[in-house]
Each structure stands twice: as structure tokens, then as C-alpha cells.
Amino acid sequence: MTNLLSGTWRIADPRITLASVASMIVGACAAAWAGPLAPGWLVLTVLGVFCLEAAKNASGEIFDWDSGTDQAITEDERTPFSGGKRVLVDELLTRRQTAVIALVCYALGGAVGLAIVFEREPAVLWVGLLGMALAYFYHAPPLKLSYRGLGELAVAVSYGPLIAAGTYLVQRNAIAPEVVLAAVPLGIVIAGFLWINEFPDARADRLAGKRTLVVRLGPDRAASVFGIVIAVAYAGVVLLPLAGLPRACWLGLAGLPHGIAAARRLRRHFEIPQEIVPAQAWTLVSFLLLALGVGAGFVVSSLA
């Protein structure tokens, strides 16, 4: 029972769940900019997204186990942010238990989504189906997005515009271009978080045929491109007012110093997994500050 609880908690992984929280913050704050929030529906939205997040983690564990990726990662390559959840490698859960958790969480997420569809906003169905498909096929065949160098794009779309727009849609019964644009830079930095987390796994991924962009580009070139990813994301924040968003959204630039620090450290230490850990943490802080800043910009403007 202890292992089951520990394994389930690790599947839920609060640190990684912060990515979906960040996107929901942007969506909810944009909705507050446009009108009053419906707190009950917001809570239900958060619950549904969290269930799908846990389901993705659980099903991903199974496919990464079957491919041999997780088993190939050595102890010195493990970091708090990479290497998968390792519930099967560490024998916290059996494959069957992990599959049951995935099935239950997908079912719960789907049930929450259907409740929103029938009682609040029918268009949420299409957003939910796309989100569920990206979550499952991130690891699963036949698409295996993360194995084909498309995982970073899937993450940018899912944790940027998709979750933010879905959160806004539940609140306002429509999707505004402003919320999509506001979430694009966030999605890029969250994809950057995935990117930097791929460095410690690169050797194991290559052996298992998992062709992430870090594997495709090679660690040296990928470390340089990471800095470009961060620069593009924050350039997007600077340009948001040109698209009609409030200038207060520039508060999202609060995450830029952490992004720059992460890029510099990765450039120097991309070959040493344990030396990358601070850069991984700084990238996490970067996208959280970006989300909080952009969200605060919407709220401040709604009060002005």
C-alpha cells in the first residue's frame, strides 16, 4: 500500500503539474479581464486538467518502459526534473497498476469534460478531445509524438494556447484571440522546460530510438538553440500590446532573468546532468513568473 500511494503521488508530480497551472492562470486572468469569473466552473476546469495530466504521466510511463528508455537512464543521469516518473523502474507500481491509474484518470478527466460540455459550454468538447489526444499520443503509438521530435511542439501547443483558451472558454463561452496570443510565449517557455529536461536523458533516448529535438540536434547545438527559444518567447511578451493586450502584461518579463541564467548555465554545462539541475529549476521559475506576470497584467487592467 505504501508503494502504491508513493507511486500514485509521483505520477501526479506537483512540479510538472505547474505547467498546466501556469496556463490556467493566464486563461483565468484573461477571463477576469473580460468579465466576472464563475469560480465553480474554474474549480471543475482545474480538476479536469489535473486528471488528464496524471493520466498522461501514467500512460507515458508504460510506453517509455516498453521502449526501454527509462531502464537505460543511469543513476548519475537522473535529476529531479528529468528521467520520467520512474514508478516502474523503482518498483513503486506494477505495469498493471500504472495502466489502471492511467485509465481511471483519463476516465475522470473525460467525465469532468463532459459535465462542462453538457452543463456549461458545448465547444469545450473539441478542446478537450484535442487535449486528450495530445496527452495520450505524446508517448503512445501510432503517433508517438515525443519519439518523433514533435513532443516539444505538442507541449508548446498544449500548455500554451490550448489550456489557456480552454479555461477562458469555460468562463466566457467563447475564445478570444487575446488569450491565445498571451499564451503563446508561455507555451514556448514551457516547451523550453521540456527541452532542457531532455539533456540528461539524451543518451538513453538515443539508445531507445526516442528522437527528441535534443537527440536530433545533438546536445551542443541544442544548448545554443535553447537560448534562442527563451529569446523568442520573451520577445513575444514584448510584442503583446501590439496585438491589443494591455501593456501591464509586460509584467510577464519578470521571468526573463531566470530564463537568461538558465540558458547561460546550460551552454556551459550541457554535458553534465547534475550541473544542469539549477538551470532546470530556473526555467521552471521563468515560466511561472511569466504566467503570473501576464495574468497580473490582465487583472491590473481590469481594475483600472
Q: Which domains can be identified in the chain, with CATH numbers?
A: 2-303 (1.10.600)
Query: What is the percentage of the chain residues whose pLDDT exceeds 90?
Result: 86
pLDDT digits (tens, 9 = 90+) for 220-278: 999 999 999 999 999 999 999 999 999 999 999 999 999 999 999 999 999 999 999 99
User: Tell me: the pLDDT tens digits for 230-241?
Assistant: 999 999 999 999
* Cell representation of residue 107: 476516465
Q: How far apart are the first and last CA of the chain?
A: 53
Phi, psi (degrees; rounded to nearest 5) at 81: -115, -5
The pLDDT of 167-181, averaged and rounded, is 96
Whole-model pTM? 0.95
Q: Which cell is 116 given?
A: 462542462
Model pLDDT for residues 141-150, shown as the tens digit of each residue: 999 999 999 9
| DSSP assignment letter at 173 | S
CA atoms within 13 A on the CB side of 264: 7
Q: What is the pLDDT of residue 3?
A: 78
**Residue 33: band (very low, low, confident or very high) from pLDDT cuts 50, 70, 90:** very high
User: What secondary structure letter does DSSP report for 13?
Assistant: -
Q: Name the phi and psi angles at 127, rounded to 5.
A: -65, -45
DSSP per-residue string spanning 99-118:
HHHHHHHHHHHHHHHHHHHH
Give 38's contacts (C-beta < 8 A, 6+ positions apart): 170, 171
- Hunting for cell 495520450 — which residue is that? 136
Query: What was the pLDDT predicted at 134?
Result: 96
User: How high does pLDDT run on average in the chain?
Assistant: 94
